[in-house]
Structure 1
């Protein structure tokens, strides 16, 4: 893992808890990078907003791209599916390169910025749809994957004692950062200006990602905040409650060790199902709303509200999971996500616009909340040192969920119509809630010796 050179020589020491986990203490965030660690929340948040429009606003440009390039609707949905595939595919190898020191955080972000620009330029000027698949689907997808993996894992490293809310806040930028572009692509972009609009957006977002990433820094391995004793119960009630409900991993699992635990693959499958539902909603809510007779402005508003709630919900759910436990929160989120699919279908069939907007927002909340939960849960279960790779394994399920939710979603809609597709999506969401019940941290005994809240399983999540 790349670490920052200290501006001054700062003494530190390593301590072990009763499980043998090592904590590096004595160095503050100011000592390590010359600025408060809150910047490692703000900058990743900005970086995430810079890549969000490629996924959440892309289908809003469907009509213009179809008319401008004569691409079929099938190509549009498969383009999104390919983008999601590569965005998820890069998570695991990027994590390995990051933790080996071969890919510094700054370099990953700059590569991601280039990929973002390449994606929009290919949509604007592609002479053939194959170029769009290469430029947008693969190039922009890989770039977004590098940014996503770097930003999400950066937060957990700097906030190992209370990562849920911070991870959720950063993750939220991946959704609501797209809102201006949903309206831009839906209401302003047309055949006369689409190239200018897409190229300008690409340049702007490239700069946003690059500038944010230029200031990224990693802490040393095993780093723990200097003002918190990892071997004693803290007096801070927020931190104490977060550690009780989500105790740190019993050790720093290597990727091979994590892969040998059944819970990692249960998490992989649960994310596959829930992410597929989320992507299905992103891809098909706009065309479904239009087919149900809602005006284009209403559909754009629904999609924007979905993105806003999707993003803000990620931050809120992170805070909630700090208070009540990651697993318990995930169960509720899966129930909400599944139930919302039935609501979107019924409200659309009834033609009741307010009900449609509410169900869209609820679906967005559930679809967004799953990602920070799994990101924080992976660090809770397997430790922070190898979290980029370990979460990369869990997140790789989006390889399949992107293609299933978008590309195969189009096939299901064509065969079973929207009714069958939304009912299937809702049922999968409810089944995921049942699976989430069985997610438990590996290696942690049901009862542990008396000790610090940060090193023993006091909460239900540690059972």
Structure 2
């Protein structure tokens, strides 16, 4: 880079200080649009198509391949074996293909949709997610967590308009996915033409790096890594598996919530929850810069757990006993099968829950908590293990989302007959890692020094 100088801070970290490129803001906006374009693959499908066993299986497989697609793409791009343009171009084609497959076949042709949507679409979304996050963080090294949280937030709220459209006109669902496919091809294709990573170690000349490294507030609330960890070294620490467990537990509940709220037919509450899932990420990151990442992460997990309790209250038998009893009695005249009666009772509870104030309160809490943990975990990866290989280390942690997808879909399948019970189980799963998140220790520090 021309007119760049190298400086070192008190920790010995090198900075390649250079001018800010004129198109940095444009690259950020293109990355945000590309991230919004892949949102319908997860949140759109979970809300609109996960109404039967086939849909749930497809969603689980898609989340698994999405989580698996990020690390290989980042590995190839970081080592110069695959240009960003080619990687995002492939991501655009695969994402559009996945969405178009759903538009054409729905969930009826399982082998076709499994290959087109779940496998290829999932891989494409994972590549786009990983590369856009990497590019944005490289151009905003002074505040990478805040900027990346805004970009990944689009992954959540990007599908909200499509959910509103489909909710108002259910017959238009195939058209919704067809439009989403076209938007994905255009948005990710535009990002592929313009996005490029910053030079290694680049730092904007608008921020003095040594003063930034010595900022008292930053050192107190968001301290940097003790040293630069390699991937193999990070895998040997206790912090990395702990972060992976946190992401798996919270990620499972996040996927589960979309399916459960969608099953009530309350499309307004669902769209609000998905929008807050994205928008809450930036808010959480700002709060974490004041109160610390670990405290805010614990609070987010607690909020997510509280959302499950509120949703369970909306779907509890006490609120729906009258309606459920009527439908169950009618079912007894038609069939003596216990499974049919249970399914009708659950359907009655979901129908009554759609108009409950607790549903809306639960959707708000679950939305705010259901996405904010992603950038918080990513920022802790950077602060625990350093910047040199943060993308690859975070990709390993992010791969725990594959486990989250399977767990979330399993709970959603159980919720088809016992929604309130499944939600209480989800509350326990979200709350389980909350206390541990406050006790995470920075790797490399002596045990006698507070983390």
Report the 3-state secondary structure (helix = DSSP H, G, I; strand = E; otherwise coil) of the residue aligned with 2:209.
coil
Question: What does 1:53-452 align with in structure 2 at a 5 Å threshold?
Answer: 53-62=40-49, 73-126=52-105, 128-190=109-171, 195-232=174-211, 241-287=217-263, 289=264, 296=265, 299-349=266-316, 350=319, 351=353, 353-406=356-409, 408-413=410-415, 417-444=418-445
If the length of structure 2 is used for normalisation, what is the TM-score? 0.85
Q: Which moved more, 1:89-98 or 1:133-142?
A: 89-98
- Could you say if the C-alpha distance between residues 195 and 282 of structure 1 is closer, same or farther in structure 2, counting changes exceeding 3 Å? closer
1:218-269 superposed Cα distances (whole Å, 9 cap, x missing partner): 112222332334333579xxx7634531122223221111111110111011
Superposition deviation, residue 398 in structure 1: 0.5
1:86-128 superposed Cα distances (whole Å, 9 cap, x missing partner): 1001122222112211223222221111111111221133472
- Could you say if the C-alpha distance between residues 26 and 182 of structure 1 is closer, same or farther in structure 2, counting changes exceeding 3 Å? same
Q: Which moved more, 1:226-235 or 1:151-160?
A: 226-235
Q: Retained in 2: the 8 A contact 1:11–1:26? A: yes
Superposition deviation, residue 142 in structure 1: 0.6
Superposition deviation, residue 16 in structure 1: 5.2
In structure 1, distance between residues paired with 2:282 and 2:128: 18
1:372-419 superposed Cα distances (whole Å, 9 cap, x missing partner): 11112211211222122111110010011101101x12443357x112
In structure 2, distance between residues paired with 1:447 and 1:434: 21
- Could you say if the C-alpha distance between residues 223 and 447 of structure 1 is closer, same or farther in structure 2, counting changes exceeding 3 Å? farther
1:18-42 superposed Cα distances (whole Å, 9 cap, x missing partner): 3x4x222331222xxx43x334432
In structure 2, distance between residues paired with 1:154 and 1:273: 28
Q: Retained in 1: the 8 A contact 2:306–2:362? A: no
- Could you say if the C-alpha distance between residues 343 and 147 of structure 1 is closer, same or farther in structure 2, counting changes exceeding 3 Å? same
Report the 3-state secondary structure (helix = DSSP H, G, I; strand = E; otherwise coil) of the residue aligned with 2:143.
coil
Structure 1 runs (4+) greater than 6 angstroms displaced: none
Q: Retained in 1: the 8 A contact 2:47–2:258? A: no
Extract unaligned runs of 5+ from structure 2. 320-352
Counterpart of 1:48 in structure 2 is 35
- Could you say if the C-alpha distance between residues 403 and 182 of structure 1 is closer, same or farther in structure 2, counting changes exceeding 3 Å? same
Q: How many equivalent residue pairs?
A: 413
Q: Retained in 1: the 8 A contact 2:16–2:203? A: yes
Extract unaligned runs of 5+ from structure 1. 1-5, 64-71, 290-295, 449-461
Counterpart of 1:456 in structure 2 is none
* Counterpart check, 1:15 vs 2:8: yes
Superposition deviation, residue 204 in structure 1: 2.1
RMSD of Structure 2 on Structure 1 (CA): 2.3
